[in-house]
Structure 1
Amino acid sequence: MPLEHALQLRGRNPDLGPWKTAPARQMTLNREFGMDALPRQLYNKAKKTPFPLNIMVVGETGLGKSTFMNTLFQADLKDTTELKVPQDTKTVEITPVSYELEEDGVTLKLCVVDTPGFGDRVNRAADLEPILAYIDAQYNAYHEAEKSKAFRAAICDTRIHVCIYFLAPTGHRLKELDIAALRVLSSKVNVIPVIAKADGLTAQEKATFKKAISEDLEINEITTYPTSFENDIEGLEELKQHIPFTVIGSTDLVQVKDKMVRGREYRWGSVEVENPLHCDFIYLRELLMAHCLHDLVQLTHHHHYHTHRSGLLCGPDRPASLLICDEEYDTFMEDAKTNVFQDMTSREEAMRQQFVQRVRDTEQTLKKREEALQQKREVLMKELEDQRRQIEIAEREFQSMQLQTSVR
């Protein structure tokens, strides 16, 4: 029976060869099957798993980094470390503090990595070394966890997903320290530069300072998020026009028009944190929380971490021939596909030219044969005409002879 069935269907479907599957065919369900519950199941499963977010804040002391983080997450993120006088710190200290925030059943495992002491001394040459060492250490820890035998276990992700770099509201261009720090940090993590304490600048000074910062970033070829990743992040044109963001941090509530809002109160008036006319805080929060929270984690894993991992794999003792199986495999395959396509195109063009040449040669040969046949036809027609004339002459002579004979 199976043989008879196979013989009946023989020739209907092409032979796919080994290790291949038949293409999927579109089918219509006769009744409800329940597949529409799959997205909801994935949502419920993802909702139960805490989402990691590791933020590093870098900037000089006194720019309001801690206050800004409290304002951003609308929570009192207290730091348990003891405050030190800037002159007493001999090096930059890395102080990661973890929190767990919950909203509507969604848990966020937040880790805020502060860098007290950055830019506080006269000699700032070594300020970046502890920061870069901490970032690389988290990449190395994740890499070691991937190589562990318990590969099915969830890996604790302590990699830095975003670095918020605070710029002093000087109103001028970027400092040399800021340029050096941003250039190195942007090659390892997603960097978002922000202008701190924006209430100290006028609207015109903010626009001028933003333009100067954007020019410095472009001149020094510094990649920032999300401007330098436009192919991965789309549909944020309204938010991108406010980059670099100006922010104001405050955990106090002030009364503005019978309404209590977060802000700062001065003798000349009040400054609202969530007022777009005063700063860009709401645009930065929308970028981080509403649009790019997941993309920051994915970009860290697929871009920055893979770059670091490639550097580890490309060690001094690793032959270059083995790199084909690593990060360069896709590039190698793309180049191979391009080369094969170009080779096939050139061969196709050569075959077409050869076919055209053969057609031309055949046409020339047929044309010469036609001319030869035409000439031969003309010769035969001329011979035939001569023979016809000779016959006519012979007939006339024969008739003349008959006439003479009859007269006699």
Structure 2
Amino acid sequence: MPLEFAHQHNGQFPDVGPWRHPEARPLQLSAPLGLETLPGQRFTKVKRKAFDLNLMVVGESGLGKTTFMNTLFNSNLKEEIPVKKIHSSQTVEITPSYYELVEDGVLLNLCVVDTPGFGDELNRERNLAPIIEYIDRQYEEYMAAERHPGFRKTIPDTRIHAVLYFLAPTGHGLKELDVRALKNLSEKANVIPLIAKGDTMTAEEKVAFKSLLLRDLEEYQIRTFPSSYPDEVDDAEELLKHIPFSVIGSDSFALVGNMKVRARSYRWGIVEVENPEHSDFVHLRELLLATCLHDLVECTHGTHYHAFRAKALRSRGRPTSILKCDDSYESQIMDARQRNRQEMERKEEEIRQKFIEKVQEKETALREREEQLNAKKAEMVAELEQYKVLLEKEQRELDELIANSRSNTLSKSTSKLNKAK
């Protein structure tokens, strides 16, 4: 751009930053264009593609994880043969299983990653290592695909979108080993804590147990989904009341009235899996499938994967300064502007306070000077009055002397005249 042009158009074409457009000018349409059909076009296009949901199931043996997953997706997942089986440890096996679920023309590619053997040993830190390794490996594979020449093609997403962590219904707070496991997992993925076998507790015991768990989660600063991601999740306020979810799983059915429902039968009665008064199963299913499936995927990509990617790039020598190629560049710039604005406001307030203090000091000095001048004026006025009184006294004395002198002179003149005659 020539220097003359830059001077002539200075400020008219500001740089709005990378990947952004200047502010557009709104126009009024004189006739309809059919813009209202655009959401429908997007819906049709999106519906053709399959949706991905990768769940990892973590918990002690005997908590009914497999039965619960069958219940969650209304299928018998146990019959599916795993595509691959990765032996990451001698005690914990990472077992991903892949399924296709179709409902009303919508295809969901479901991956359930089981972790048999977790919690069987006293030291769960060794059990946790292969799980963290598996999650990181999926991030590494996705990052390698992004750097591949075929980057603009669709990348198979094998990243873990949610970790369902099953807690035993003990009625007590979190165990120390559970705290360590949850804290490490929450830094890598979206963690959803579940209370397994919720039918073994009364309603009062569930409320008390949930309160203890929520207190421990807050005390140990364990991030859970969706509570810890308010900016990433929409329309989930009602579901937050039921966290952590108390769930029940069952492969059997029972007749309740005229309806056949999933339930667990006991001598004292029937516990319905999908009855909100008996468990939080329906709320968890709504969270995973009906409300927050997109949010889980986006939060995995925008929060956990980006944190892993940034850490990997920093370890390879990339500087920690703000770069325009960072995906979070705009948010970092906005944060920097906000901090600068707050700093400027703070400095402006300090300058204002200093100016007020100096004005007050000056006013006090002037007031004192004025009082001194008023006192000096009063003193001089009093002294002037004294001089005036003395002057008047001397004037009277002088007038008397003049009068006496004139009288004496007149008398002498008269006497001389008399003698002359």
TM over 0.5: yes
By how many angstroms is 1:251 displaced?
2.0
Report the 3-state secondary structure (helix = DSSP H, G, I; strand = E; otherwise coil) of the residue aligned with 1:227.
Answer: coil
Q: CA 1:333 to 1:275, structure 2 compared with 1: closer, same or farther past 3 Å?
A: closer
Between the aligned partners of 2:204 and 2:341, the Cα distance in structure 1 is 57
Q: Distance in 1 between matches of 2:96 and 2:22?
A: 52
Give, in whole Å, the separation in 1 of the partners of 2:281 and 2:290.
Answer: 13
SS of structure 1 residue aligned to 2:165: strand
TM-score by length of 2: 0.73
Residue 213 of structure 1 is matched in structure 2 by: 213
Equivalent AA in structure 2 for residue 273 of structure 1: V
1:40 aligned partner: 40
Equivalent pairs counted in the alignment come to: 342
- Name the residue aligned to 2:12: 16
Whichever residue aligns with residue 149 of structure 2, its letter is K
Structure 2 counterpart of 1:120: 120
Match of 2:277 in 1: 277
Cα distance between partner residues in 2 of 1:240 and 1:343: 38
* Letter matched to residue 170 of structure 2: T
TM norm structure 1: 0.75
What are the equivalent positions in structure 2 for 1:1-400 lying under 5 Å apart? 16-17=12-13, 23-78=23-78, 79-80=80-81, 90-315=90-315, 317-321=317-321, 326=326, 329=329, 330-331=331-332, 334-335=335-336, 338-339=339-340
**Does the aligned pair in 2 maintain the 1:324–1:332 contact within 8 Å?**
no
Distance 2:345 2:168 in 1: 58
SS in 2 for 1:126: helix
Alpha-carbon distance between aligned partners in 1 of 2:122 and 2:346, rounded to the nearest angstrom: 63
CA distance in 1, matches of 2:116, 2:253: 27
Q: Is the 8 A contact 2:322 2:332 kept in 1?
A: no
Helix, strand or coil at the partner of 1:229: coil
1:316 CA displacement: 5.9
Distance 2:322 2:237 in 1: 42
How big is the shift at 1:23? 5.0
CA distance in 1, matches of 2:151, 2:204: 55
Structure 1 residue 318: Cα displacement: 3.7
Change (3 A) 1:240 1:319: closer
Q: Measured at CA, do residues 105 and 341 of structure 1 come closer, stay the same or move farther in structure 2, by a change above 3 Å?
A: same
1:101-156 residue CA offsets vs partner (Å, 9 max, x unmatched) = 11111111100000000011234330001100000000000000111111111000
- The Cα shift of 1:198 comes to 0.7
Unaligned runs of 5+ in 2: 1-7, 83-88, 360-421
The offset of 1:304, in angstroms, is: 0.4
Shift of 1:334: 3.5
Find the aligned partners of 1:203 and 1:19 in 2 and give their Cα distance. 60
The one-letter code of the counterpart of 2:313 is L
State the shift of 1:19 in Å.
7.2
C-alpha displacement of 1:77: 1.3
8 Å contact from structure 1 (residues 98, 109) kept in 2: yes
Q: CA deviation at 1:70?
A: 1.1
Secondary structure class of the residue paired with 1:97: strand
Structure 2 vs 1, CA of residues 23 and 243 (structure 1 numbering), >3 Å: closer, same or farther?
closer
Letter paired with 1:197? K
Q: Distance in 2 between matches of 1:268 and 1:347?
A: 72
Root-mean-square deviation (Å): 3.3
Does the CA contact (< 8 Å) of 1:310 and 1:327 recur in 2?
no
CA contact 2:235–2:291 (8 Å) conserved in 1: no
Check conservation: 1:314, 1:323, Cα contact below 8 A.
no
Q: 1:301 to 1:23 in 2, by over 3 A?
A: closer
